[in-house]
A = this chain, B = another copy of it.
Amino acid sequence: MNICAVIIAGGIGTRFWPLSRKQRPKQFLPIISDKTMIEETIQRILPMLSYSNIYTIANQKQSLTLRELLPKMPSNNFLVEPKGKNTAPCLLLATAHLYLKDPESVIAVLPADHLIQDASYFLKKLKAAAHAADKSHSLITFGIPPTHPSTGYGYIQFSKKNPLSFSGEDFFRVQEFKEKPDQNTARSFLKTGAYFWNSGMFLWKAKVFSENLRKYAPEMFSHWKKILGALKSNDQNGLNAIFDEIPSISIDYALMEKTKNVLMGKGDFGWSDVGSWSSLLEIWEKDPNHNALRGECITIDTKNCLVHNPDKLTALIGLKDLVIVNTDDALLICKTDMDQKVKQVVNTLQKKGGKKYL
């Protein structure tokens, strides 16, 4: 079995502003450890895959940054999207590349900016999922056992009955992909125990992917064929033209929700999408007052605060539940339960001449 990994590295998140910037999104930030998240993601799979079987996909500029961060990866493995158009076009292109090399390849699609706490357990599950993708003729995904009725994730409804077993791991038949629910719906999902979070991690055999496109997503299948054609003839202009017209939709919407052939593995390996500053409060090491502090800090009567101010002294007096991020040109202070509004700051900067801070 020829297994390859495709790391989706093209995101342009705003939720880690002011540390994340347009040219330095989350995957290029060392927010979990002293390594960038993309480096962490690659390190995690190296016990299972060699560099020659690992690919990244991102835009031209980001791919240059990736080359610098990942000098051991073959230069042909940095796949370049003509333009950023959501995950469906991105994964059609990446899968087409590998399909042309070997339609029997099993491809593991992994986002570049997720945290996985138990890496060896993850690899065990990933190997089993690769076997499932190889043997079952299904598309494989990982569902994350939900810890709370989040309205921030999509859900995967699966059948708890008669799971299939590959390499000793259970894989469940997916019944439906659900968009981000409202609070009540999310609660009802959790009650049943048959809805897991959609992690955005997928595995498929290249030719199974192609077959499913043909059967369940005919419009995307025509783009798929065009992409294969352009790659075969090394026609960059043709590829650019395809990316101009291909719809900007997610792979969930384009394919996963439509096909009947999806199996779900349990992603119970300590997954987090590290979606906001306050999520780091659960990840970074904390002092006895539950403060997660990066940089020299003096705290007085202060608890549950997250500080990223590596180059300066920080003094905190009488505070709780704050996110504090100090960079060379901007300072963010935000109540932990309001960090979804960081996006609003970025929007304001976009509108009101604050481009230099983006």
Q: How far is the CA of A344 from the CA of B309 in the complex (A)?
A: 21
Indicate with 1 or 0, residue by residue over A314-338, a CB within 8 angstroms of chain B CB atoms: 1111110010101011111111011
Indicate with 1 or 0, residue by residue over A274-318, a CB within 8 angstroms of chain B CB atoms: 000000000000000000000000101100000001001111111
| A153 interfacial by beta-carbon distance below 8 Å | no
Q: Smallest CB–CB gap between A140 and chain B, Å?
A: 39
Q: Smallest CB–CB gap between A79 and chain B, Å?
A: 35
Cross-interface CB contact of A341 among B313, B317, B354, cutoff 8 Å: B317
Across-interface contacts of A11 in B (CB, < 8 A) = none
| A10 interfacial by beta-carbon distance below 8 Å | no
Across-interface contacts of A167 in B (CB, < 8 A) = none
Query: Cβ of A317 and Cβ of B339 under 8 Å apart?
Result: yes
Closest to A309 in B: B331
Q: How far is the CA of A326 from the CA of B329 in the complex (A)?
A: 11
Residues 335 to 357 of chain A near chain B (Cβ within 8 Å):
335, 337-339, 341-342, 344-345, 348-349, 354, 357
Question: By DSSP majority rule, is chain A's interface helix, strand, loop, or mixed?
Answer: mixed
Q: Smallest CB–CB gap between A309 and chain B, Å?
A: 6
Q: How far is the CA of A226 from the CA of B314 in the complex (A)?
A: 48
Known contacts A301-B338, A345-B298, A348-B298; A331 and B313 CB within 8 A of each other:
yes
| A89 interfacial by beta-carbon distance below 8 Å | no
Cross-interface CB contact of A344 among B300, B314, B331, B339, cutoff 8 Å: B300
Cross-interface CB contact of A332 among B315, B337, B339, cutoff 8 Å: B315
Across-interface contacts of A319 in B (CB, < 8 A) = 322, 333-335
| A82 interfacial by beta-carbon distance below 8 Å | no
Cross-interface CB contact of A333 among B316, B328, B330, cutoff 8 Å: B316
Query: Cβ of A333 and Cβ of B324 under 8 Å apart?
Result: yes
| A143 interfacial by beta-carbon distance below 8 Å | no
Closest to A349 in B: B298
Query: Cβ of A333 and Cβ of B322 under 8 Å apart?
Result: yes
Residues 10 to 69 of chain A near chain B (Cβ within 8 Å):
17-18
Residues of A in contact with B (beta carbons under 8 Å apart) = 17-18, 298, 300-301, 309, 312-319, 322, 324, 326, 328-335, 337-339, 341-342, 344-345, 348-349, 354, 357
